[in-house]
Amino acid sequence: MTHTLDSLNARFAISDHLRFSLSAPGLPVIDIQTPHASARVALQGAQVLTWQPTGQKPVLWVSKATVYAPGKGARGGVPVCWPWFGARAGLPAHGFVRTRLWEMRETRLDAAGQVVLHLGTADDASTRALWDHAFDLELVVTVGQTLSMALVTRNTGTAPFTITDALHTYFCVGDIAQTRVQGLDGCAYLDKVQDFAQLTQTGAVAFTGETDRIYLDTTADCLIEDLAWERSIRVAKQGSSSTVIWNPWREREKAFADMAAGEHREMLCVETCNAGPDQVTLAPGGTHTLSALISVA
């Protein structure tokens, strides 16, 4: 596997629509431009960094303070959390694939003029040291007027394994205080800010302080209503029975060296997950697909 820019462009560039560049030495990114949208996707972590449908403001948020460096995920876009979501004692938070250099497997333009990317990664000695299972993981990203991401887990070993995972999507909003998330009314959630107490959502989710919640048993679309920018973003999903909503707010934001002061006002995470008690067990040869479809209205 080689990641030199010349070899990536020779094999995978699409004339006028897709080229590789570097976000930092050793870190290739895919730059996409079509009549429908522009986007940037990092090979490290298979992390979608930007997506902007033509005529719209950017949809995905990335911190101005983010650092692009080998082994460090960017603060924003869509980090892939796998094979666990959240903390695990002595191991990297949100799993280990978000800081790994993924392999470019395929790029193409589909009949609708969307760019389709296949990025993959699989077990090796370094992943076995953290999680002793054989796997193949592929992220299929379709960039057009909508953004679709499908994370396909395959158990390539001889024993079952259990995962949690997330498309930990950071969205831009005009003003978090004037933003609501619809779709979770009546849903039970675990509130990380209150030591994982289980509570029930009433009405839309509104933001007045640190918010970090795993909504349980939900397959519903979420609708981000952004009153300041007068737009709504729909997050539809499949293969996911939990949704995480996160905003660090003023105090907690300071704990992140890769967030600038006040940036919590312009961002919000609505994460398509299998998280908390929502776990997926795969038999040998089994596959599971976690997917999100994002659209702007």
Q: By CB under 6 A, name the binding residues for ligand TA6.
A: 86, 93-94, 168, 192, 212, 244, 246, 269, 271
Task: State the minimum distance, in angstroms, from the CB of residue 274 to ligand TA6.
Answer: 13
Hey, CA dihedral for 2, 5, 10, 14, is it positive or negative?
A: positive
Marked catalytic residue, from 118, 133, 168, 264:
168
Nearer to ligand TA6 by Cβ, of 114 and 211: the residue is 211
Nearest Cα neighbor of 214 from 233, 236, 195 is 195
Task: State the minimum distance, in angstroms, from the CB of residue 125 to ligand TA6.
Answer: 24
Nearest Cα neighbor of 177 from 142, 205, 155, 139 is 205
Nearer to ligand TA6 by Cβ, of 161 and 246: the residue is 246
Nearer to ligand TA6 by Cβ, of 105 and 192: the residue is 192
Q: What does the alpha-carbon distance between residue 70 and residue 277 come to, in Å, rounded to a whole number?
A: 32
Nearer to ligand TA6 by Cβ, of 212 and 226: the residue is 212
Cβ(196)–Cβ(174) below 8 Å:
no
Task: State the minimum distance, in angstroms, from the CB of residue 168 to ligand TA6.
Answer: 6
Neighbours of 156 (CB within 10 A): 15
Distances (CA, A) of 175 to 102, 264, 267: 34, 9, 8
Task: State the minimum distance, in angstroms, from the CB of residue 263 to ligand TA6.
Answer: 13
HSE-up of residue 231 (Cα within 13 Å, Cβ side):
17
Task: Classify residue 77 by its DSSP letter.
Answer: S
Helix (H) or strand (E) holding 10: helix 5-12
The question of whether 168 is a catalytic residue gets the answer yes
Nearer to ligand TA6 by Cβ, of 40 and 264: the residue is 264
Task: State the minimum distance, in angstroms, from the CB of residue 86 to ligand TA6.
Answer: 5
Nearer to ligand TA6 by Cβ, of 59 and 244: the residue is 244
Task: State the minimum distance, in angstroms, from the CB of residue 240 to ligand TA6.
Answer: 14
Marked catalytic residue, from 253, 263, 266, 271:
271
Q: What does the alpha-carbon distance between residue 81 and residue 273 come to, in Å, rounded to a whole number?
A: 9
Cα dihedral 252→258→260→266 (10° resolution)? -80
SS (H, E, C) 250-286: HHHHCCCCCCCCCHHHHEEEEEEEECCCCCEEECCCC
Q: Which residues pair with 230 in a beta bridge?
A: none
Contact partners, residue 177, CB within 8 Å, separation at least 6: 207, 208, 265
Catalytic sites, residue numbers: 168, 271
